[in-house]
Structure formats: C-alpha cells, structure tokens
Amino acid sequence: MKKEKYILLTGGTGFLGSHILRAFINKKKKVILIKRKKSSLWRISDLNNQYRSFDIENINIKEIFNQFKIDTVVHTACIYGRNNELSSEVVKSNLTFGLELLEAAIQSGTNYFFNTDTFLPKNMNFYTISKKQFVEWLQIYSSQIKVVNFKLEHMFGPKDGNTKFVTWLISMFAENTNEINLTKGEQKRDFIYVDDVVNAYLKIYDLRRKFDNFTEFYVGTGKPIQLKYFVRKLKKIYEINKNKVNTKLNFGALPYVENEVMESLADNTDLKKTGWSPKTKLSADLKKTVLSWDSAQKKIS
C-alpha cells in the first residue's frame, strides 16, 4: 500500500511557521510538526487534530522519516540569540539541527527542502553566521535533494513575539512608555506582511517540481521604507486604533550597531515571475497587527 505524502514543518509554533501551518491545513495538506516539548501552542491552539506533532526530545528525527513518506521539508525553526543564549546554543539550533534534518531527508528519499533564510549579512552576529553557514551546507547537498532557499526581508504581522521590532514598539506604546531610545532611523528596510511571505511559500510549493537543485528567492516588497518614517507611522496607527500615547521617540539616542545595514530591499524579480506578487499595504497591515496585539498578549500570559 502506497504511503500518503506529508510535509514536515519545523518552527510551526513560531510566528512564520504557525501561519504556514495554518495555510497548508487550509489547503488540505498533511503536515507533520516537529517542535520542542516546551514550545507554547497558543498560536495554533485552534488547530488540534489537524496535524501530527512530535517533540524533538522524544523521538529521533530519522524515525519520523522512516515512519512517514515526507515529500517536502519546510524548515522555519531558529534561535535569534536575543535571550542571552550561548553561541553554542545558537549553532546547535540553526546549524546542527538543520544538518541532522537535511541528512535524514536525503537518506529517506525526500524530494524537497525549503529553508528560511534572512536578508541580513553573514557577519552581523551569531544568528546570521549560523544561518549563512547552513545555506552553504544546503548548496553542497543540493545535488542530492532539491533545495529552495527563501531570503526574507523584515516581516511583520499578528502573533509575532515581543522581541521583534514591530511588536516590541507596540508593547512600548501599550505601556505608554515615557520615551523610546532609537538610532537616527536613517536605515531603509523592506517591510513585508506575513501573509505575503506565506503566499510565497505556497506558490513555490505548488511549483516545486519546476526548479533547479538549488533555487533562491528574495521575499520582500521591493520597496524600502525609512525606519524613522515607519516608527512614526506605527505610533500614529496605534493612537488612531487604540489610545493616545505620550511616548517620546528619541531618534539619535542610540548609535548604529557595527555592520549596520543602511538599506535593504528584496530583488523579487524571480519570485514575481512565478506569479507571486506582494499585496502588503503598510497602513492596513500595521492596523491589523496593532489590533491583534492585545489578544495575543492574553494568550502569551
């Protein structure tokens, strides 16, 4: 009897992964989720019994590939290193785990490996070094499995964690913090709404048989926005939809970090050739993010 084909998803309890999980389920795809035992399920609590789940601490990755026919791995799990994790912990999560997953996929005959990468350069921090090193391994192994690497720009949307820039700002406004110290805000970023990112994954999944062994897509709107403008815009949207705040934005109070990226925008030409196009509307999507923040905090707490 022929085995049913599954998508194996990592990071499915996180921000992007939970949105991808929901989208695959809506598309009637069979999904297996690998997660940590301590992972909170608040983002996907309404999806009970619609996917299979395994705690990585309780099972060997190879056992999952042996038990199920995995057609595609979608790898979104990572550690950013924002909670004082040791460099060894960041490497273990972002590089070693990825390699174990990749090797198991190849040994079992899995056809496709989708990786989640970042627009940030390799030399910024432990996170970016480990992420870029894993991409180098993916290139080496791409003769044995088809790899699609998604280089994501600055993503935002509902259900993101409070260590991320947009939701951190919202939390500061919600507390009516006296002041927020910021850099000059001259940096330009390509802000993209999470639904656009998810739609990129879905589009490439549908077309996965057509690509070369290693294919890379830059996922962003292609339109950079100055950080100072973005922060002021977010504050204004918060005040319109929530409450007036007295928070002072101290632009220039902080220095730029070493190796600061002053302008980043996605060259999404190849992605748009697949039929994907960004639908991000900054004001409307920031409003949705702001309005969803309170309910997310209740679930986190």
Could you list the active site residues?
127
Residues 30, 53 contacting (CB under 8 angstroms): no
Q: In whole angstroms, give the CA distance from residue 216 to residue 127.
A: 19
Closest among 264, 269, 285 to 128, alpha carbons compared: 264
- Residue 145 CA: distances (Å) to CA of 142, 178, 186, 287: 5, 52, 41, 41
* Bridge-based pairing state of the strands 188-189 and 225-226: antiparallel
Q: Which residue has the tokens 């309910």?
A: 295
Q: In whole angstroms, give the CA distance from residue 231 to residue 225.
A: 10
Q: Which residue has the tokens 């705040």?
A: 245
